[in-house]
């Protein structure tokens, strides 16, 4: 544990990890931050009562995460400029493969609860944040990078007020976007039709993250609509389900890579979001009538 005002994990002191910068001794009240070079690691983390928001600064790492006993295992490649969360109140199991640089930000749970109470005009004794693995959020990113920049500078007592403002803005963003109540207030009643901008964001998200796990729930959460609204809108306006649309885009990406690269088919399968070469082959044959190898050979003829 580190700090005197809230319980945290000293991630920089874990075996083989290297703390590149710390907020310790800077007088920051609502955040404890560390810039850490993180090594591969497997283990279980007990809750400490304050969530830790992680931002990938440099180099990707493959993460397996399970929150709570009996919870589902999530798997994702955490890339630079993406976030994840160590929950405040639940035990969590982790497996990290790959070396990367992370900004680990423990946020005071009391501030999160107070902010939620003000935003929702109701008491919120314990607010749970839910930040999916590999979340990209430009606003959170700018706030995190500002905190990292200050932490890299020589300690300056006058910076504490600025950091307080940054942390408050970060907490407002997290409560509004990454809590169940916050998502409900943004979504409002289910809608039968999404506007052009929302559907455009759906397409952009799918294209940008084809290699990752793309569930209906994750896409809806990222775009800020309910899964039911997203499902109905895509079926009505695209004539297909979200799952089938994602599958078709993965096959199209695989077709391009088969003809334009010399990558092994197994590598192409993983790079386009399929779990294995056989998974790609099954989907490819169903949509094109050909095997990936046959398509590549035919295209080179």
25-47: pLDDT as tens digits: 898 999 999 999 999 999 999 99
This model's pTM is above 0.85: no
pLDDT recorded at residue 5: 62
The predicted structure's pLDDT at residue 187: 47
Q: What CA–CA distance (Å, rounded) separates 25 from 31?
A: 12
The residues, ordered by sequence, that sit 6+ positions from 102 with a Cβ below 8 Å of its Cβ are 11, 35, 36, 38, 54, 55, 56, 57
Contact 231, 271 (CB under 8 A): no
Please state the three-class secondary structure of 223-246 as a single string: HCCCHHHHHHHHHHHHCCCHHHHH
How would residue 182 be classed by pLDDT, with cut points 50, 70 and 90?
Answer: low
> Per residue in 111-144, pLDDT tens?
999 998 888 765 556 788 988 888 888 899 999 9
The better pLDDT of the pair 236, 51 is held by: 51
Mean pLDDT value of segment 54-63: 94
Asked if pLDDT for residue 10 goes beyond 60, the answer is yes
108: Cβ contacts below 8 Å, ≥ 6 apart: 5, 6, 29, 30, 31, 50
**Higher-scoring residue by pLDDT: 32, 238:** 32
| pLDDT > 90: percent of the chain | 55
Q: 246 and 254 in contact (C-beta within 8 Å)?
A: no
- Kindly give the pairing relationship between strand 92-97 and strand 18-22: unpaired
Are the CB atoms for 129 and 179 separated by under 8 Å?
yes
| Banded model confidence at residue 301, pLDDT cuts 50, 70, 90 | very low
Cα angle, residue 208 at apex, residues 218 and 51 outer, rounded to 5°: 45
Question: Do 55 and 138 meet the contact criterion of CB atoms below 8 Å apart?
Answer: no
Q: How many CB atoms lie within 10 A of CB 269?
A: 24
| Sign of CA pseudo-dihedral 100, 213, 207, 133 | negative
Would the pLDDT of 63 be above 80? Answer: yes
Query: What gap in Å lies between CA 167 and CA 110, rounded to an integer?
Result: 13
Structure tokens at 181: 């109540």
Buried b (16+ CB within 10 A) or exposed e, 77-96: bbbeebbbbbbbbbebbbeb
Structure token digits, residue 195: 């506007």
Q: What is the mean pLDDT of the chain?
A: 87
Span 253-281, average pLDDT: 93
What value does the mean pLDDT take over residues 77-97? Answer: 92
* pLDDT value of position 57: 96
71 dihedral zone (left: phi>0; alpha: psi -120 to 50; beta) = beta
C-alpha–C-alpha distance, residues 221 and 215, integer Å? 10
- Number of helices (H), then strands (E), in the chain: 11, 9
Q: Residue 32: which of 92, 88, 107 has the closest Cα? A: 107
Q: pLDDT at position 232, please? A: 81
pLDDT score of 197 more than 80: no
- Residue 10: CB atoms within 10 A of its CB come to 17
What token pair was written down for 37?
């070079």
Q: Which tokens hold the place of 295? A: 């398509």
Q: Is the pLDDT score of 179 beyond 90? A: no
Residue 193 confidence (pLDDT): 58
CB contact at 8 A, 82 and 56: yes
Q: Cα separation of 95 and 117, whole Å?
A: 35
């Amino acid at each position: 544990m580190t700090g005197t005002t809230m319980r945290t994990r000293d991630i920089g002191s874990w075996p083989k990890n290297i703390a590149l910068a710390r907020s310790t001794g800077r007088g920051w009240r609502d955040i404890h931050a560390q810039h850490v070079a993180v090594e591969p690691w497997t283990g279980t983390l007990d809750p400490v009562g304050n969530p830790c928001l992680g931002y990938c600064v440099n180099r990707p790492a493959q993460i397996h995460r399970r929150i709570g006993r009996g919870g589902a295992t999530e798997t994702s490649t955490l890339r630079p400029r993406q976030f994840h969360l160590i929950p405040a109140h639940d035990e969590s199991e982790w497996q990290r493969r790959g070396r990367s640089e992370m900004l680990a930000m423990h946020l005071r749970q009391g501030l999160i609860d107070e902010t939620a109470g003000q935003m929702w005009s109701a008491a919120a004794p314990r607010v749970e944040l839910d930040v999916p693995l590999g979340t990209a959020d430009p606003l959170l990113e700018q706030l995190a990078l500002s905190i990292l920049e200050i932490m890299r500078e020589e300690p300056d007592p006058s910076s504490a007020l600025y950091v307080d403002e940054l942390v408050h803005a970060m907490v407002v963003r997290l409560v509004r976007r990454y809590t169940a109540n916050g998502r409900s207030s943004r979504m409002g009643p289910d809608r039968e039709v999404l506007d052009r901008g929302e559907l455009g964001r759906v397409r952009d998200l799918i294209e940008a993250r084809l290699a990752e796990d793309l569930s209906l729930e994750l896409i809806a959460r990222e775009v800020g609509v309910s899964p039911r609204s997203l499902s109905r809108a895509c079926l009505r306006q695209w004539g297909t389900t979200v799952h089938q649309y994602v599958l078709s885009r993965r096959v199209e990406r695989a077709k391009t890579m088969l003809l334009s690269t010399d990558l092994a088919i197994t590598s192409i399968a993983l790079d386009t979001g399929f779990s294995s070469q056989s998974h790609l082959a099954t989907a490819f044959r169903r949509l094109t009538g050909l095997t990936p190898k046959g398509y590549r050979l035919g295209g080179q003829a």
